Amino acid sequence: MTHFTARPTRPSSTLVRRVIGVAFLVAAVVSPAVAQEPVVRFDDYLTAIAKEGQFSGAVLVARNGQVIFRKAYGQANVELGVANEGDTVFRIGSLTKQFTAAAIMLLRERGRLSLADPICTYIDECPQQWQPITIEHLLTHTSGIPNTTTLARSAEDARRLTVTPIVPARQIDLFKPLPLDFPAGRFNDRLLTAESRTAMTTPGKGAYGYGLRIGRMHNRALVYHGGSINGFDALLMRFTDERVTIVVLRNADYGTPSEDAIGRDLAAILFGEPDEAQGR
Helix (H, G, I), strand (E, B) or coil at 59: strand
**Quick one: CA torsion of 250, 101, 246, 194, rounded to 10 degrees?**
170
User: pLDDT by residue (tens digit) across 37-54?
Assistant: 899 999 999 999 999 889
Provide the residue ranges of all domains of the chain, joining segments of one domain with +: 56-89+212-280
DSSP 123-144: STT--GGGTT-BHHHHHTT-S-
Contact at 8 Å (CB) between 222 and 214?
Answer: yes
Burial class (CB in 10 A: 0-12, 13-18, 19+), 168: exposed
Q: Is the pTM here over 0.85, yes or no?
A: no
The hierarchical CATH code for the domain 56-89+212-280 is: 3.30.450
User: What's 256's DSSP letter?
Assistant: S
User: pLDDT by residue (tens digit) across 125-148?
Assistant: 999 999 999 999 998 888 888 877
The single-letter code of the amino acid at 273 is E
Farthest-apart Cα atoms in the chain, separation: 104
User: What's 204's DSSP letter?
Assistant: -
The whole-number average pLDDT for the span 19-39 is 46
Percent of the chain with pLDDT over 90: 41
Rounded-to-integer distance, Cα 251 and Cα 57, Å: 6
CA angle (208 as vertex; 207, 212 as ends), nearest 5? 130
pLDDT of residue 190: 61
Rounded-to-integer distance, Cα 75 and Cα 179, Å: 41
